[in-house]
Every structure is written in C-alpha cells, then in structure tokens.
Copies of this chain bind each other. A is one copy, B any other.
Amino acid sequence: MTLAACRRFAGWSALIAVGMALALKLKEARFGEPYAGTRVFCLASDGDLMEGISAEASSIAGHLRLDNLVLIYDDNHITIEGDTDLTYSDDACKRYESYGWFAQFVDDGHDHAKVRAAIDRALAQKDRPSFIRARTHIGKGAPTKHDTKEAHGEPLGKDEVAAAKKAMGWDPNRQFYVPPEVYALFKERAAELAAEHDAWNARLKAWRTAHSDLAPKLDAFERKLVPENLYDELLKSLPDKDDSTRNLSGALEQIVARLVPSLIGGSADLAGSTKTLMKDGGSVGRGEFRGRNMHFGIREHGMGAICNGMALTGIIPFGATFLIFSDYMRPSVRLSALMEQQCLWIYTHDSVFLGEDGPTHQSIEQLWALRLIPHLYVARPADALECAAAWAIALGRKDGPIAFALTRQKVPKIVRDEGFSPKDALRGAYVVQDAPGGKPDAIVVATGSELHLAVGAKAKLEGQGKRVRVVSALCLEAFAKQDEAYRERVLPKGVRKASIEAGRTLPWRSLPS
C-alpha cells in the first residue's frame, strides 16, 4: 500500500489519525507485507493544535514512535476571532519535537515543491512521526478577504469570488467551470493511481497465495469477526463466585481476547484498577506493536480519539478508565456513536461505592449522561452472567459503541427464576424474579450493583403480602430495540414501578407507568 492508497485517511483530525497509524502498525506486526509501508497523512488546523486532545494524542504518537504518521499543520494564522496572535504563541515545531516528533517548518505552504520536499524528508524518517508546519494564507487569491477571519467563518460572496477569478485570469462569469487542463491532469493522475492500485492488488494476491495460513486470519481480523457461539463460550466459563463486576468482566475478557483477535485496547493508567489487562496479550510500547495491551497514560480524551481511529481501521478497540472520567472523553464517545463505530468503553468504579477517592471521583450523573448520547449503548451488569451478556452485546453490535459500567465493590450472584433463559439477558431487560403467577402489583427495576437490593426488597414486600416482580435493566438501549410485545411483557403498562440505581434518579421516573 502506498501514499496514494492511504489518501482516504487525510482530512481527519490529528487525533483520530494517531489511532489509524497505530492500527496499521498493529496490523503490520501481525500480518507483515500487506500493511508494510502504509502511512497516514493528516491535515490539522490551529484549532486541532490548540485543543488539548492533540497534546494527548501527539504525545502518545511520539512515545510509540509512529513513523507512519505525517501531520501537516495548515498554519494560516487565522481563527474565528481573528489572527492567532490574539491567543496563540506556541512554537509548534518545538512543541512537537518535545513529543519526540521530527518537525519541519515550510515557509510557504502554497509552494508545492517545498511541501513535497518536506514530505519526502518526513517519509525518510525512522522511529518518529513527522510534523510539518506549513505557513499558508486563508482565502488565498481573494482580493479583499485574503488572510482575514471573514475567509474562515463566512462564504466569500459573489463579488469576491468574481474578483478572485478575474485576478487569476479566469472568466468571472463562469461557474462550476473546470478548465480542460485540470481535467487532463486529473485523468492522467487517476490512471497512475489506478495502476498503483492494480499493482498493489497483485502484490496482495501473491501474498495471499504465499501465506495461505495468514490470509484467512487477516480477513477475519479486518472484518472484526466474532464467533457466533461467543456467548455460549462465556456462559460455559462463568466465574462462580461473589465478586466485583470489574473482576468478573475482567475474567471473561480473557476468554473474549482468545476468541476475538481484533480486540485490542487498554486503559488510561488504570489497567490494574479496571481489570482490563489481557493476560497473554503483551504490551504495545515504543516501536513494539505485537502486543494487545495499550497503555494510554493519563490521557482519557486521547484514548477516546485513538480508539475511534483504530475502530475505523479494522480493530475492535476498548478504552478503560473510571466512570467519572468518561466526562474527560465525552466528545470522543459521542463521535464513536455518531460514526457508528464498534468501540468498547469500559468504565469501572461506577458509583459512590468507589471507595476512598471522594466526591471528585464519585459518579453521580455519568450513567444517565451517557445514556442520553444517541446511539450509544450503556450496559451495567449485576453479576457474572450479566457481564457475559454485556460482552456478547458489545461484540455483536457492529454498528455502534457501548459503555460498560462496572463496580469496584463485590456484588452477590443473582438468583433468577427457574424459567430464566440466559438469552433473555441479551434483550437488555428481563424478568429476574417474577411475582406469583406473573401478575405483579408492582415492578422493581434495578441495574448493576443495586439488582440484589431489588431482589431483597421483593422478599420483604412479599412478606407483607405484596406481589412484586424484579426486572434487571442491564442495557436500556438494547431493550428499546425489542419488539413491543416483549417490552410490554417485561414492563407492562398500568403496573406501578420503582427503580433502584446508585446515581441520578430523575430520568428513571420516565418509565411507562
């Protein structure tokens, strides 16, 4: 794969590009030639560089020595409020050198030869990503809006466009006009690229023949293949003890890791606390990409962006931290939902029961704040079986992300009615213990560490002659996708409902009454 074949990666933000470059390195380490020499080019703006997420992602890229990444900084000195002098004095090249990048300054970013030469020097680098600060001019060629903030935030307008065309020697009255020389140039270039692409396909075909063992593995990896019997495999090996759901989930993750090679991820300096380390996985580190365990450092937002880039490049990524720190990476979580990417966000210490860290670390509103993000699933399992269901839902959902909410504290194994089928847990909400004859006076809905409290409440209330059903709402978003008959069966209208969950309760009051 060559420069040309990777052009589709350009234009993403600096941060997602780091995840893409990392994914290519990971795949090269596993499959060799098909990914050898692949590169990611990224165009970044002043905004990208000012946002802290670029600092996090670029620091990781430098640390990992991602020499397949070239970031071109479109240094046009203009933001919405005006000249960058208003707010921005960074020495961008020095800053990127401090992250371990190779940095170059091109004094005229409109000079193709100069930019080409800088890219060539970048491509010759080993062991470090490349940063090219290219000084450019916004609205170049527009007679009055050249180098102005108006060229950033507003359309040039009819007169300015006409004047710009005139200044370039074009007919100002012609619109959507492409000169024949441009057509010719593109045609010629398209043919070159098609030839490159054919050559690459031929090389890939030869590689497939020579590596008949690896080729199907590559396809399975790229397709993020998950065995159809994953849930059954997990159910076979359920840890059979009272434990925290972070521990239970961590034990099941070991099985998932064995069955799903595309799963690669890590935590923001909390592997031991989130229990997300894949024991036989090895680490991804400086110039070392054979492992599966990422170490993102104390950089939640960068972790989010990198996972998104990995998901776009043939990996099933997971990023782990405490639930409270989901706030630090919320824009990336939202983007994973908007882009319909299979990202797993594993959040532990999911309530005030997190221990000694105090209010800055206590999740109160985070569960519902995540549930409000459109197209994101949120799974809060109550015991080992529900942890298995959460993993099965997560791995089965190819077109969107899921957030796990897991406890630090030990929770008891839930006793379910005899008729319970583990498949029901995959439906997002299900009857854990029903009222006698399936005719409840009231329904208690609970999640995660509070489900056993609901079971206890039912026993007490039944001692007082009340008929109570307990429903687990493991994943409300998966439940919402069930047909109406199932939803009505689990949570029938006209029956009073109560909810138990450690966190903001207000949105729970919207259960159909």
Contact = CB atoms under 8 A, between A and B. Distances in A.
A403 to B, nearest CB: 14
B51 A52 contact: yes
A51 B299 contact: yes
B270 A80 contact: yes
Interface in A374-398: 374
B62 A52 contact: no
Interface string A482-504: 00000000000000000000001
A368 interface: yes
B89 A100 contact: yes
Residue from A92, A269, A330 whose CB has the most chain B CB atoms within 10 Å: A269
B50 A52 contact: no
A363 to B, nearest CB: 11
Contacts of A89: 59, 62-63, 99-100, 286
A53 interface: yes
A9 B368 CA distance: 35
A373 B372 CA distance: 13
A228 interface: no
Interface stretch (A172-180, A310-318, A331-339, A465-473): A331-339
Given A52-B302, A301-B52, A87 B296 contact: yes
B50 A53 contact: no
Nearest to A367: B372
Contact of A47 (B54, B86, B269, B296): B269
A421 interface: no
Contacts of A267: 81
A273 B300 CA distance: 29
Interface string A34-63: 000000000000110011111110011011
Contacts of A86: 283, 285, 295, 297
A88 B97 CA distance: 14
A501 to B, nearest CB: 13
Given A88-B297, A297-B79, A365-B374, A510 B507 contact: yes
Contact of A506 (B60, B94, B365, B372): B372
The size class of the interface chain A forms with chain B is 35 or more
Nearest to A86: B295
11 contacts: A51-B328, A52-B54, A54-B55, A63-B87, A80-B269, A87-B298, A90-B98, A95-B95, A372-B507, A374-B504, A509-B510
Nearest to A47: B298
Nearest to A100: B89
Given A270-B80, A372-B504, A56 B52 contact: yes
Contacts of A327: 330-331, 334
Interface string A86-129: 11111110110111100000000000000000000000000000
A286 B360 CA distance: 33
Nearest to A296: B87
A364 interface: yes
A3 interface: no
The 10 closest A-B pairs by CB, nearest first: A52-B52, A87-B297, A55-B55, A509-B510, A365-B372, A95-B98, A94-B98, A47-B298, A50-B298, A63-B89
A87 B52 contact: no
A98 B91 contact: yes
Contacts of A51: 52, 56, 298-300, 328
A237 interface: no
A50 B58 CA distance: 11
Contact of A272 (B80, B299, B368): B80
